[in-house]
């Protein structure tokens, strides 16, 4: 028996493998629960007393040799794997990739652009730092016109002619100056007004303004376009136009959409009326067309303008406009599923 064990020790010492799997087979063969070693250990009680000591020593040597062999083989193969540049277990699930979220302003803006682009409007942009002509004068708001007070303006201190645009109507002026009718364009962008910052208003916010100019454009075209918009945007097609005043449009109107009074939220949003004011609009004043080099005898058009922030607050039930510009990740992460 002892000789057999010594033979096994020699065998173990000589042992080599062709693959990683063979190491595990070898381990099970010798060191496993039902392996050779345990079988020989079980023989211990049958060994003659005088041989017990030597048997014990040899079997322990076999055990140690086998254990060392397994370890040595494993190390050897691990090194080989590393040299090969192995990627480890390729079936392991990958690291999850963090998905960002669009800002609620972008979500609403993209939706508006998408809706108007489907009926042929393109997107135009212009500078946020404007001159007096494009923001006011060309829009039928000459110097000292009282309606300039409707939009509290940030002026650049050293030059009263330069200001932060108070609306993106300035982009429409630029567009009319550089393009011939027919014109169908929407102008999204950030605008600035010198107002106290509160939960309801900020000194900057975002607008989308639209402009349509062609021969024979009528107020009916305006209303139809707005109705298409509210249906696509909110799923609501009932609108009403209340007479209003803007220096650059005549006639002018505020647009309300009938939101309904089905839920408590509807009550809160519409102050119990069911109606929600969403934008201003009107037929472009002939003076504005002339200021921009368009013949007002041949062409007519309509314009409208709405606040993106206000719509984002409404749609997502956000109670404080300041959240939109604070970049708080806990707030922004909530829009992951919103497109």
Task: Report how far residue 315's alpha carbon sits from residue 297's, in angstroms, rounded to the nearest whole number.
Answer: 41
Taking the complex as a whole, how short is the minimal distance between the CB of residue 166 and ligand PHE, in angstroms? Answer: 7
Taking the complex as a whole, how short is the minimal distance between the CB of residue 88 and ligand PHE, in angstroms? Answer: 60
How many positions of this chain bind ligand PHE (CB under 6 A)? 11
Give whichever of 65 and 207 is closer to ligand PHE, judged by the CB atom. 207
- x/- binding map, residues 275-314, to ligand PHE, per CB under 6 A? -----xxx--------------------xxx---------
Q: Are 37 and 5 in contact (CB under 8 A)?
A: no
The correct pick among 40, 105, 163, 209 for binding ligand PHE (CB under 6 A) is: 209
CA dihedral over 181, 182, 188, 192, signed as positive or negative: positive
Taking the complex as a whole, how short is the minimal distance between the CB of residue 263 and ligand PHE, in angstroms? Answer: 30
In the range 224-283, which residues lie near ligand PHE by CB under 6 A? 246, 249, 280-282
Give whichever of 189 and 305 is closer to ligand PHE, judged by the CB atom. 305
Name, in order, each residue with C-beta under 8 angstroms of 39's C-beta and a sequence gap of 6 or more. Answer: none
Task: Report how far residue 192's alpha carbon sits from residue 175's, in angstroms, rounded to the nearest whole number.
Answer: 20
The correct pick among 135, 169, 230, 291 for binding ligand PHE (CB under 6 A) is: 169
Task: Report how far residue 174's alpha carbon sits from residue 135's, in angstroms, rounded to the nearest whole number.
Answer: 10
Give whichever of 181 and 282 is closer to ligand PHE, judged by the CB atom. 282
Residue with tokens 């040899």: 58
Taking the complex as a whole, how short is the minimal distance between the CB of residue 305 and ligand PHE, in angstroms? Answer: 3
Structure tokens at 190: 């950030």
Residue with tokens 């929600």: 276
In the range 115-154, which residues lie near ligand PHE by CB under 6 A? none
SS3 226: helix
User: Whose CA is closest to 210, among 199, 196, 194, 221?
Assistant: 221
SS3 227: helix
- Report if residue 212 touches ligand PHE, rule: CB under 6 A: no
The correct pick among 27, 63, 167, 184 for binding ligand PHE (CB under 6 A) is: 167
Task: Report how far residue 8's alpha carbon sits from residue 30's, in angstroms, rounded to the nearest whole number.
Answer: 10
Which residues form the interface with ligand PHE (CB under 6 A)?
Answer: 167, 169, 209, 246, 249, 280-282, 303-305
């Amino acid at each position: 028996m002892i000789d057999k064990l010594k033979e096994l020790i020699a065998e173990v010492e000589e042992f080599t493998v062709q693959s990683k799997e063979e190491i595990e087979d070898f381990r099970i063969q010798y060191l496993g629960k039902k392996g050779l070693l345990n079988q020989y250990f079980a023989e211990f009680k049958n060994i003659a007393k005088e041989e017990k000591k030597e048997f014990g020593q040899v079997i322990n040597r076999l055990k140690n040799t086998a254990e060392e062999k397994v370890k040595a083989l494993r190390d050897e193969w691990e090194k080989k794997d590393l040299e090969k540049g192995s990627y480890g277990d390729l079936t392991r699930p990958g690291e999850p990739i963090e998905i960002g979220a669009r800002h609620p302003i972008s979500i609403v803006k993209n939706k508006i652009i998408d809706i108007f682009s489907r009926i042929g409007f393109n997107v135009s942009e212009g500078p946020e730092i404007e001159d007096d002509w494009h923001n006011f004068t060309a829009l039928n708001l000459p110097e000292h016109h009282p309606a300039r007070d409707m939009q509290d303006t940030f002026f650049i201190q050293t030059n009263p002619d330069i200001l932060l645009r108070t609306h993106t109507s300035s982009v429409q002026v630029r567009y009319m100056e550089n393009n011939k009718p027919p014109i169908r364009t929407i102008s999204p962008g950030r605008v600035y007004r010198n107002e106290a910052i509160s939960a309801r208003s900020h000194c900057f916010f975002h607008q989308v303004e639209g402009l349509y100019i062609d021969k024979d454009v009528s107020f009916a075209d305006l209303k139809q376009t707005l109705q298409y918009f509210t249906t696509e945007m909110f799923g609501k097609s009932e609108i009403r136009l209340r007479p209003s005043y803007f220096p650059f449009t005549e006639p002018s109107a505020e647009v309300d959409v009938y939101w309904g009074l089905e839920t408590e939220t509807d009550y809160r949003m519409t102050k119990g009326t069911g109606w929600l004011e969403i934008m201003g609009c009107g037929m472009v004043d002939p003076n504005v067309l002339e200021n921009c080099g368009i013949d007002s005898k041949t062409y007519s058009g309509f314009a409208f303008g709405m606040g993106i922030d206000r719509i984002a607050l409404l749609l997502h039930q956000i109670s404080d406009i300041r959240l939109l510009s604070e970049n708080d990740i806990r707030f922004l992460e909530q829009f992951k599923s919103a497109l």
